[in-house]
């Protein structure tokens, strides 16, 4: 997603379907949109989504071109709505189809459908290709912004050094955590039993230290 200027409140779904983006990516993008300000340049967050999730999001945010069947169906709906008495030759119909496909094929099936529905509901005259595109411009801009942000987060994830693995939990830490858990859930007998085991372990570890000269 390209950020930087405009704040969008569109669903966190794939570019050309209702499939949602990975949750970690959706959270990062939503936070970026919530924090967007025209005077502040967006930067990748300190805590990045996993690279695999970012790759999946980029694939979802890069739609396939609209297929011929969808474009033809949408054009037929527009003609019925706005030009019911128009009769074109087969060659003119083919040329019209090619012009519209060239102009708006990159919208993908979902946005073609959405733009057609909006045009039929809101316009008075048959739209030009550019006017149909205007019906879904906010979604197009949001998609481009999100894709750009995902690209930048993925580049940043590859640039940053890998975080060191966490230190393994010691037996003392595990026993102390168990004691705290039992006390939290009001199980004093179990807490006391584990506490005695922890105390014995600590005493045994301290004994060699006392006997050393």
Q: Which domain holds residue 100?
A: 68-139
Task: Tell me: do 135 and 85 sit in the same domain.
Answer: yes
Task: Tell me: do 82 and 133 sit in the same domain.
Answer: yes
d(CA 142, CA 3): 8
d(CA 182, CA 194): 9
16 is a domain residue:
no
Contact 55, 86 (CB under 8 A): no
Residue 208 pLDDT grade (very low, low, confident, very high; cuts 50, 70, 90): low
49 is a domain residue:
no
pTM here is 0.61
160 is a domain residue:
no
% residues pLDDT > 70 (the chain):
88
52 is a domain residue:
no
Number of structural domains found in the chain: 2
pLDDT digits (tens, 9 = 90+) for 59-86: 989 888 999 999 999 999 999 999 999 8
Task: Tell me: do 124 and 176 sit in the same domain.
Answer: no
pLDDT digits (tens, 9 = 90+) for 113-162: 999 999 999 999 999 999 999 999 999 999 999 999 999 999 998 888 87
pLDDT at 5 over 70: no
* Choice between 211 and 49, residue whose per-residue pLDDT is larger: 49
pLDDT digits (tens, 9 = 90+) for 24-33: 999 999 998 8
Task: Tell me: do 134 and 72 sit in the same domain.
Answer: yes
182 is a domain residue:
yes
154 is a domain residue:
no
Task: Tell me: do 85 and 128 sit in the same domain.
Answer: yes
Residue 209 pLDDT grade (very low, low, confident, very high; cuts 50, 70, 90): low
125 is a domain residue:
yes
81 is a domain residue:
yes
Task: Tell me: do 75 and 135 sit in the same domain.
Answer: yes
């Amino acid at each position: 997603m390209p950020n930087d200027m405009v704040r969008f409140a569109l669903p966190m779904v794939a570019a050309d379907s209702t499939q949602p983006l990975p949750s970690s990516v959706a959270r990062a993008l939503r936070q970026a949109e919530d924090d967007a300000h025209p005077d502040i340049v967006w930067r990748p967050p300190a805590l990045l989504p996993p690279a695999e999730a970012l790759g999946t999001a980029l694939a979802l945010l890069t739609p396939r071109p609209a297929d011929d069947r969808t474009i033809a169906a949408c054009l037929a709906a527009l003609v019925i709505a706005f030009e019911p008495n128009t009769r074109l030759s087969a060659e003119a119909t083919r040329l019209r189809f090619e012009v519209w496909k060239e102009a708006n094929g990159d919208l993908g099936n979902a946005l073609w459908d959405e733009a057609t529905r909006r045009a039929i509901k809101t316009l008075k005259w048959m739209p030009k290709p550019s006017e149909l595109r205007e019906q879904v411009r906010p979604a197009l801009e949001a998609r481009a912004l999100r894709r750009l942000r995902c690209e930048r987060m993925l580049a940043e994830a590859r640039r940053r050094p890998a975080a060191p693995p966490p230190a393994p939990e010691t037996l003392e830490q595990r026993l102390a955590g168990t004691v705290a858990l039992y006390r939290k859930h009001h199980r004093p007998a179990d807490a006391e039993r584990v506490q005695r085991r922890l105390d014995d372990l600590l005493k045994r570890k301290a004994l060699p230290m006392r006997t050393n000269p």
